[in-house]
A and B are shown apart, each in its own frame.
Chain A
Amino acid sequence: MTLDLYFDFIIFPILTVSVVLVFLRLLKGPDIVDRVIALDLIITIGIALITAYSIRSGQAILLDVAMILALIAFLGTIAFSFYLDKQEKK
């Protein structure tokens, strides 16, 4: 079993199933903060998917996108908590 086949049949399906599981929490989430952390985790798993795809396809340039995504996830969570704080003070 080569590494490419291993990535195709083990790594990518497991990562996809994890995205689906977190997406269920995003739909279900009883409160808005649950949805915020579910979005954060989806972006983190997206970084993992991009990294696995760049290993599988041999295109290292895709790691730049993963770096930008890591920063955007942080900004998104901080912005959500900032505006939720403001909403609560009214």
Chain B
Amino acid sequence: MTSILIAVFSTIGTLAVLFASIGVLRMPDFYLRLSVTVKAATLGVGLLLACAAFIFQDSSITTRAISIVFFLILTAPVAAHMIGRTAYHKGVPTWKGTVIDELKESTAEKPGQYETEGEKSANTGEKKL
């Protein structure tokens, strides 16, 4: 019974990891690739760690597995956000099927919002004290 459960969970987790890697290879755009990486890979690793916690039946191993899943769930979206922001400001092109770009619309209304202090004073002619 235990081994059947382990086999089912590890199969689902491994397939999630496989789908994440296929998505990274086949998606047409950087941003779509980013969205695939974070979610599917975290799900797959989380399921495999749940298998490890279930097969060892030890409180120290369970704590380690929970902490690894916690780290992954906490850090993967933050890292994806940072690298996505960098890519957007770097000018990485979006896919031709992308229909909405809310960041571009919001920055077009307020020019100078994302400029640094030096650029602002250079634009307005003020001098830094």
Number of interface residues of A (CB under 8 A): 49
| Contact call A34/B33, Cβ cutoff below 8 A | yes
What 0/1 pattern do residues 5 to 40 of B give for CB contact below 8 A with A?
Answer: 011001101110110111011000010011001000
Number of interface residues of B (CB under 8 A): 52
| Contact call B30/A21, Cβ cutoff below 8 A | no
With contacts A21-B22, A33-B92 taken as known, whether A81 is within 8 angstroms of B52 at the C-beta atoms is: no
Interface residues of A (CB under 8 A from B): 2-3, 6-7, 10-11, 14-15, 17-19, 21-22, 24-25, 31, 33-34, 36-38, 40-41, 44-45, 47-48, 51-52, 54-55, 60, 63-64, 66-67, 70-71, 73-74, 77-78, 80-82, 84-85, 88-89
